[in-house]
Chain A
Amino acid sequence: MSEAVLQCIKTRRVVREMTDEPVTREQIEAILEAARWAPSGGNLRPNRYIVIEDAETRRLVRLVSPGMFQEAPVLILICTNMDVVAEQQVPPSDRALLIDVGTAAQTMMLAAHALGLASGPVTSYSKEAIKVILNLPAGYSPEMIICVGRRAPDARPGMRAFKRITWRDLTHWERFT
């Protein structure tokens, strides 16, 4: 395994100001293929990805997404397909479903970073409005949008952390006494 993977993980940052330079179809496909390799609870693969490049659709999505600060040339919406969940008799409240969204999201953002692209996740949007705008099938639950593009040269750094942390602050070894 190479050091490059660790470097990619450590240097990826959420980018909230992007240029309108287009992302190529190959790059989008490479990101989607990476998501396909993300771990999935029970190997259920309930995630479905909606790619939005059309400028007007992106504009409408952004208007109901107060947490989307960037104007990205590509949006990838991660949906949970609740029909698959029902078919496999998985309870809809199973935590694994949202964890699946998380593993796919991080995998896509790392893939984007590896390709020299910028990305940013967004969950602060109205799910109901998104369903209407995209005319989503009834079983699709829109869980997270990944904005993909190129970092604007003068993009501000991300939100400052509440306090500086290291991995040690987050870790406990062995049993609690």
Chain B
Amino acid sequence: MSENWVLKEDEAIELLALLISSARIQLDEPARYAPMRMLTATERLSSMILERSSDKSREFLQDNMERIPDMRMEMSDLPAYTEGLEALCRSVAECLLRHSQAKESGA
């Protein structure tokens, strides 16, 4: 089981600040910027929890931090951007499975 705490209160509030600000600015910005804001929050959260996370998540988190800044540059190339997001969806699903299997096996 991985029930270890990975986020400090300060960090959680920082993430909330980013999410709330993103919600507000999105009202004035093109809809296609919205995924980028979600990815920025994903990248920040990944970097916040990387150190305290278990092996089941570490590679996934590290990968997010490396891949997301590259994806930002590809925003104008919709097929590449879409594929980048699909790849992230696959890897988060794999990470979920690792956690679920560990839970079932009581590891």
B contact residues vs A (CB 8 Å cutoff): 14, 17-18, 20-22, 24-25, 29, 33, 37, 40-41, 69-70, 72-77
Q: Contacting B25 at CB < 8 Å: which of A125, A156, A159, A161? A: A125
In the complex, the answer to whether A160 meets B76 with C-beta atoms within 8 Å is yes
Complex: A157 Cα to B70 Cα, angstroms: 9
**What are 25 A-B interface contacts by the 8 Å CB criterion?**
A63-B21, A64-B18, A64-B21, A66-B18, A66-B41, A124-B25, A124-B33, A125-B21, A126-B21, A126-B25, A129-B17, A129-B20, A129-B21, A156-B69, A156-B70, A156-B73, A157-B73, A158-B73, A159-B73, A159-B75, A159-B76, A160-B73, A160-B74, A160-B75, A162-B76
Complex: A157 Cα to B69 Cα, angstroms: 11
A contact residues vs B (CB 8 Å cutoff): 17, 63-67, 69, 124-126, 128-129, 156-162
Known: A126-B25, A129-B21. A69 touches B76 (CB 8 A): no
B48 → chain A, closest Cβ, in Å? Answer: 12
In the assembled complex, which residues on chain A have CB atoms less than 8 Å from the CB atom of B14? 63
In the assembled complex, which residues on chain A have CB atoms less than 8 Å from the CB atom of B74? 160
In the assembled complex, which residues on chain B have CB atoms less than 8 Å from the CB atom of A125? 21, 25
Complex: A128 Cα to B24 Cα, angstroms: 10
